[in-house]
């Protein structure tokens, strides 16, 4: 599953909570568009997840659930490499090495670090600070061409490119410089309660995010309570961020343009938009949920998938790691 003639994509999701439709529309749906044209490495980034506190039992369950979600969304483990980050030791190893080629100033400029460190209070784990270096290592270990992510990861990806370029200019061409793959309308799904804030699985307010695994009633409730405005016109613009967000979610399913949605809903009320969106979301998510539940009952199969994924991932990534070590002067 590593065809030399094809380009490579790498992406990952943290098993740090329940995945949201932000993860689905911003990342997984785009993986599906690319999966047949590329060598694919889709990782469950558990080493990233422990940069904030995790409960062991829950973490164990979530790691498997993320794998089950990848499979249920249609990623074929015979064509794509699905693996768990902590199973492939090259990631942590390269991460240490790249720590020595990354500057404190660069890391302190990371928006996500600034936001997350505010939330954890005074004792900020060092891992939260160096997190983008681990992400750079993930990507650079596979000669990755393209990284499909939501727009919140753009800054991290730019750092990965900077680190790679720096290493290449110090030691000659070693890493491939990866490109982001970010799809505009779905790249930043916003909170249903505060459409100026990104939808996030770590939000305290459960009504602000829709989980991939939310049941019909929760979907109905959360969409009907989502914050809109008092303008009463279904129009795609920045003065109506709530409506804009709902349209973005809708077109991530239907493939329409914002203009087509505006035209279709001309003269109609917010209730109608919410009703259609609710039913589209239920149709989109319920087959996935059924499959996830099936996969979760078959832990042996999940183990088979992640074991196979780990083997290929190790072989491919160790080639790059050995090259890195040689160039640095390790024996």
Q: Is 248 in the site for ligand TYM (CB under 6 A)?
A: no
* CB atoms near residue 254 (< 10 Å): 13
**Stretch of 4-12, 241-249, 289-297, 316-324 contacting ligand TYM, by CB under 6 A:** 4-12
Residue 13 binds ligand TYM (CB under 6 A): yes
Q: Is 311 exposed, middle or buried (0-12, 13-18, 19+ CB in 10 A)?
A: middle
Q: How would you classify the pairing of strands 179-181 and 146-148?
A: parallel
Question: Looking at 64, 147, 210, 302, which residue binds ligand TYM (CB under 6 A)?
Answer: 147
Q: Which of 8, 22, 223, 317 binds ligand TYM (CB under 6 A)?
A: 22
Q: Dihedral of CA 322/326/327/328: which sign?
A: positive
Contact 90, 314 (CB under 8 A): yes
Check residue 193 and give left, alpha or beta (phi > 0: left; psi -120 to 50: alpha). Answer: alpha
Residue 7 as a binder of ligand TYM (CB under 6 A): the answer is: no
Task: Give yes or no for residue 211 binding ligand TYM (CB under 6 A).
Answer: no
Among 40, 72, 75, 135, binds ligand TYM (CB under 6 A): 135
Set 7, 176, 201, 275: catalytic member: 201
Residues 41-80 that bind ligand TYM (CB under 6 A): 45, 48
- How far is Cα 98 from Cα 162, in angstroms, rounded to an integer? 11
Task: Tell me how far, at minimum, the Cβ of 190 lies from ligand TYM, in Å.
Answer: 7
Q: Which residue's CB comes closest to ligand TYM?
A: 26
Residue with tokens 């832990």: 299
- Residue 316 structure tokens: 């491919």
By CB under 6 A, the count of residues binding ligand TYM is 25
* Residue linked to tokens 């410089």: 177
CA atoms within 13 A on the CB side of 27: 26
Is 241 one of the binding residues for ligand TYM (CB under 6 A)?
no
Active-site residue list:
116, 198, 201
Q: Name the site residues for ligand TYM (rule: CB under 6 A).
A: 10-14, 22-23, 26-27, 45, 48, 135, 138-139, 147, 149-150, 152-153, 156, 187-189, 198-199
């Amino acid at each position: 599953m590593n065809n030399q003639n094809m380009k490579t994509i790498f992406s990952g999701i943290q098993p740090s909570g329940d995945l949201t439709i932000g993860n689905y529309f911003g990342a997984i749906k785009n993986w599906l568009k690319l999966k047949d044209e590329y060598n694919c490495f889709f990782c469950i980034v558990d080493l990233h997840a422990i940069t904030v506190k995790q409960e062991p039992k829950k973490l164990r369950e979530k790691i498997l659930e993320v794998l089950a979600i990848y499979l249920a969304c249609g990623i074929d483990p015979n064509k794509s490499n699905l693996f768990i980050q902590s199973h492939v030791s090259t990631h942590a190893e390269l991460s240490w090495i790249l720590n020595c080629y990354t500057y404190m100033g660069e890391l302190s400029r990371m928006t996500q670090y600034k936001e997350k460190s505010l939330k954890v209070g005074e004792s900020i784990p060092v891992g939260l600070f160096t997190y983008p270096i681990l992400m750079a290592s993930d990507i650079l270990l596979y000669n990755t061409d393209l990284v499909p992510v939501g727009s919140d990861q753009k800054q991290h990806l730019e750092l990965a490119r900077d680190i790679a370029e720096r290493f290449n200019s110090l030691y000659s061409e070693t890493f491939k410089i990866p490109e982001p793959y970010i799809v505009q309308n779905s790249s930043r799904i916003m909170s249903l309660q505060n459409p100026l804030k990104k939808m996030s699985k770590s939000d305290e307010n459960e009504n602000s995010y829709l989980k991939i695994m939310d049941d019909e009633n929760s979907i109905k409730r959360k969409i009907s309570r989502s914050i809109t405005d008092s303008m009463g016109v279904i129009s795609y613009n920045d003065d109506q961020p709530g409506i804009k967000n709902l349209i973005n979610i809708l077109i991530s399913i239907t493939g329409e343009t914002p203009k087509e949605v505006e035209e279709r809903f001309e003269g109609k009320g917010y209730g109608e938009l919410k009703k259609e969106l609710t039913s589209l979301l239920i149709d989109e998510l319920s087959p996935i949920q059924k499959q996830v539940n099936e996969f979760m009952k078959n832990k042996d199969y999940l183990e088979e998938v992640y074991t196979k994924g780990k083997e290929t991932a190790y072989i491919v990534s160790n080639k790059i790691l050995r090259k890195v070590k040689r160039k640095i002067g390790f024996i």
